[in-house]
Amino acid sequence: MVLSSPLQSLDSALELHRKEVCLGIRIEKGKHSGEVIKSTCGRCKQSTRHQILSDVDFSGRDEAGDEFIFGWDDSYQIIQCQGCESIIFRKTHMNSEDIGYVPGKDGWEPEYLTREELYPNPEEDRVALSDDHLLPENLYRIYSETLGALNSGSPVLTGIGVRAIIETVCKDQKASGKNLNDQINDLVGQGVLTKEGADILHKLRVLGNAAAHEVKPHTNAQLGLAFDVVEHLLQGVYILPHHAKQRFK
């Protein structure tokens, strides 16, 4: 979808929901203007402070008498990076059915998940590793496909691809174990990974599981960092050892 401008996007959002006010949908304009939030900047290539320049919020509730059935909240924002001053269009979505779990005082506690979409996609211009041709054929294929999914703004496919890259590395390194958890740990015993590196890969394994089994999309910031990690893994296991062998014979 091509957006002609962020301002027109806000106007379109207002027009899209204007007729739905009578159905119990609430519209608020400028509720968050001036607030500073953290979001991924495509120019700075990292999470930075952004100021909300303009925003429109929509919320809806489905109820039957006194019984709550379903609720959702959408926010459309124009935000500006406080570092490079670039302008981004941001949309967030939350609903009462989309619940995740976070560590709490008494174990895992439920929390409503917020989905974020950014335009332009901060990951869309990401380029492949310069020496990706040194990767084994199967690994090169899944790496390239996952990079394509990341650049095209396909978060679920990217999450699945990140997990598949880790699985392919474990298979190529002949890691033993009945599941991916055990295989990652075996890489530590082989000296391929540090304990700290394995801990990070376990987090990516969980991310990939959520994408594959729950069709759960992750944020641009999460996926960008996850891809940084797998690229670091590929460089450490395949690319840098190849160059070291060539230059320090």
Report for 44-48, 163-167, 211-215: range of highest mean pLDDT = 163-167
Residue from 113, 106, 114, 145 nearest 128 by CA: 145
Task: Please report, as a single letter, which amino acid is at residue 207.
Answer: L
Domains and CATH numbers, the chain: 6-119 (no CATH), 132-247 (1.20.120.580)
State mean pLDDT over 6-11: 59
Out of 41-55, 69-83, 142-156, 216-230, pick the least confident. 216-230
Mode of pairing for the β-strands spanning 115-119 and 46-64: unpaired
Pick from 138, 22, 33, 24: which is nearest to 76 by CA?
A: 33
Structure tokens given for 104: 């709490």
31 φ, ψ (degrees, to nearest 5):
-65, -35
Q: Average pLDDT, stretch 189-217?
A: 84
Higher pLDDT, 13 or 219: 219
Bridge partner residues of 119 (DSSP)? 89
Lowest mean per-residue pLDDT among 31-40, 54-63, 117-126: 117-126
Burial of 102 (0-12, 13-18, 19+ CB in 10 A): exposed
Q: Which residues contact 189 (CB under 8 A, 6 or more apart)?
A: none
Residues 6+ apart with CB under 8 A from 63: 69
In the chain, % of residues over pLDDT 90: 41
Please indicate, yes or no, whether the overall pTM of this predicted structure exceeds 0.85. no
Angstrom distances, CA of residue 148 to CA of 19, 119, 141, 142: 38, 17, 11, 10
Of the spans 32-46, 138-152, 193-207, which averages the highest pLDDT?
138-152
- Assess contact for 33 and 55: CB atoms under 8 A: yes
Lowest-confidence region among 72-76, 185-189, 209-213: 209-213
What gap in Å lies between CA 200 and CA 229, rounded to an integer? 8
For residue 214, pLDDT beyond 60? yes
The residues that bridge with 187 in the sheet, in sequence order, are: none
User: Given a cut of 50, is residue 107 above it in pLDDT?
Assistant: yes
For residue 1, what pLDDT is reported?
A: 43
DSSP assignment of the chain, as one string? Answer: ---S-HHHHHHHHHHHHHTTGGGT-EEEESSSTT-EEEEEETTTTEEEEEEEEEEEEEEEEEEETTEEEEEEEEEEEEEEETTT--EEEEEEEEETT-EEEEEETTEEEEEE--EEEEES-TTTT----TTGGGS-HHHHHHHHHHHHHHHTT-HHHHHHHHHHHHHHHHHHTT--SSSHHHHHHHHHHHTSS-HHHHHHHHHHHHHHHHHHHH-PPPPHHHHHHHHHHHHHHHIIIIIHHHHHHHH--
pLDDT digits 0-9 by tens, 45-94: 788 999 999 999 999 888 767 777 788 899 999 999 999 999 999 999 98
